[in-house]
Amino acid sequence: MYKFLLFLDPYLIKLYRLIPEPISAFFLGTFLIAWLAVFIGQLSISVAFLLNRKYVEKLNKDLVHWNNLSVDALKSGDKEAYKGANNEANQVFGKLFFVSIAYSCASLWPAPFFLGWMQIRFGTVEFPLPFSIPGVGSTVSFVAVFICFYVIAYFCFNRLQPYLPYFKRIHALLETYEQEKARLKSITEKDETSMEAASRQSEANSS
């Protein structure tokens, strides 16, 4: 990994030489590195997502299917059917949860990679703070600067994703999954239906 970072060094350092003033150049370069980390991370997610698209679609459909079956069984008073369907829904939800964790890891891996390169170049660089923070001190390293820019870049990218070539397709696909999840029935619907029925019955009796 170290040799690979050294191989990339002549290319990455160019981002820090776009302007002559060293402090401004550092902040601009780190900002661009943070954007590059976010872009590569989101690209990694999109590739993983497209490779596993059919599997994710199946999980989403199975979740809606088993969840709605469990709610319908509860409404009809069939506890055994409810337990069986609810167990299946929980298993599918668990699979979707771990898939989302895997995607999150795929989006974050470039950050420590670029931080490793910055450690080689800027390991001794520190910036003074206007006040001292307990446990941190009166200075921060390049890591704090990178993290701040990374967070900004991440949220900006999420806002821009629906308008970016290629990524807008991924965004549209994810939106269809959210629409699919909107079909999930809630157990509270059972209580709401019962309350509405009771209210109508009460009104009929009073009339």
Contact 103, 26 (CB under 8 A): no
Residue 9 lies in a domain: no
Domain count, the chain: 1
Residue 171 lies in a domain: yes
Residue 162 lies in a domain: yes
Task: Say how far apart CA 107 and CA 167 lie, in whole Å.
Answer: 14
Domain that holds residue 86: 28-127+139-206
Contact 33, 12 (CB under 8 A): yes
Q: What is the pLDDT of residue 11?
A: 93
Residue 19 lies in a domain: no
Q: What is the pLDDT of residue 194?
A: 42
Q: What is the pLDDT of residue 16?
A: 94
Residue 85 lies in a domain: yes
Q: What is the pLDDT of residue 86?
A: 84
Residue 134 lies in a domain: no
Tens digit of each residue's pLDDT, the chain (207 residues): 778 888 889 999 999 999 999 889 999 999 999 999 999 999 988 888 888 888 888 888 888 888 888 888 888 888 888 888 889 888 988 888 888 888 888 788 999 999 999 999 998 888 777 766 676 667 778 998 999 999 999 999 989 988 888 888 888 887 776 666 666 666 655 444 443 443 444 444 454
DSSP state of 164: S
Task: Say how far apart CA 126 and CA 122 lie, in whole Å.
Answer: 9
Residue 1 lies in a domain: no
Task: Say how far apart CA 18 and CA 165 lie, in whole Å.
Answer: 26
pTM exceeding 0.85? no
Residue 11 lies in a domain: no
